Amino acid sequence: MEREGAGRYLIAPDPGDVRLTRAVEGVDEAGATAEISVVEERPLTIFLNGQEIVTVMTIG
C-alpha cells in the first residue's frame, strides 16, 4: 500500500518505522511512572570538497 504523496520522493519517509523512536520512562504529574516513545535524533555531518560544512540533527 503506497502512502499518499510518497510517489514524489526517491526515498519516501516511513513514520511507522520503529527505529525513528525510542522508549523513555518518566514520571507524570501524579507521580506514576509512564513509558512513552520519543523521536530519536541523530547528527548528520555535511562535507563539501573534504571540508566539514555543518552538522545538522535529523530524525531517524
Domain coordinates in residue numbering, the chain: 14-59
CA distance linking residue 49 with residue 39, whole number of Å: 32
**pLDDT tens, position by position, 2-60:** 556 556 888 887 888 888 889 999 999 999 999 999 988 889 999 999 999 999 998 86
CA distance linking residue 7 with residue 51, whole number of Å: 34
C-alpha cell at 2: 503506497
pLDDT in the model for residue 12: 81
pLDDT in the model for residue 7: 66
pLDDT in the model for residue 5: 58
- Report yes or no on whether pTM surpasses 0.95: no
pLDDT in the model for residue 3: 58
